[in-house]
Amino acid sequence: MSEPAKEPDKVKFCNGCGHSMHDPSSIIIEYWSSHHTVYFCWCHACGWRGEVVEVKRMITTETEE
């Protein structure tokens, strides 16, 4: 028997309402765009949908105090 596909651990909660994305009615689809990992998410609880991009490197400046 094959095991069911494991959901990505990167997206755990909905960005819109905070509901668990591990709800079997919600959707998480992982795909790649160039060198970025992107998760398309749809929350069953509130209907929010969108893409979450994994950030591996970020360059920023320091603000003056």
Would the pLDDT of 63 be above 80?
yes
pLDDT of residue 55: 82
More confident residue, 44 or 65: 44
Contacts 24+ apart (CB under 8 A), 23-30: none
Q: Domain boundaries in the chain?
A: 10-55
Count of Cβ atoms closer than 10 Å to residue 49 Cβ: 14
pLDDT of residue 10: 79
Q: Where are the beta strands (DSSP E) in the chain?
A: 27-33, 36-42, 49-53
Q: What is the pLDDT of residue 6?
A: 58
Q: What is the pLDDT of residues 1-50, one digit of tens each?
A: 555 555 446 789 999 999 999 889 999 999 998 888 899 999 999 999 99
What is the 3-state composition of the chain as percent helix, strand, coil, each rounded to the nearest 5? 0, 30, 70
- Tell me if residue 29 falls in helix, strand or coil: strand
